[in-house]
Amino acid sequence: MTLHFLPPAIDPYETAVDDAIATCNGDLRGALKALIIANEFLERDLERALAPDGSPSIVHDGNACMRIVNWADDAKT
């Protein structure tokens, strides 16, 4: 009788880390920097969405899936 062992389930965080590093051509520092920048954009948009003055946000954009973001321009604000 042969026993077959299945590989352990892949942790989704490990997969996300591997994808981020691969996207940056193996550059760990570049992957970390990209994730920090992406997180800052998400935090800023969440703050706008929760602001009492009703600042515009992609959360309220009815056409969010078609939105074009110019990251270079957004980083200046």
Query: Each residue of 2-45: pLDDT tens digit?
Result: 777 766 667 888 888 999 999 999 999 999 999 999 999 999 99
* pLDDT number for residue 13: 87
**CB neighbour burial string for 12-45, b if at least 16 within 10 angstroms, e if fewer:** eeeeeeeebbeebeeeeeebeeeeeeeeeeeeeb
pLDDT band at 48 (very low <50, low <70, confident <90, very high): confident
Distance CA 16, CA 47 (A): 25
* pLDDT number for residue 76: 53
Distance CA 12, CA 69 (A): 27
Rg for the chain, CA atoms, rounded: 19
* pLDDT number for residue 27: 95
Structure-model confidence comparison of residues 60 and 7, the more confident one: 7
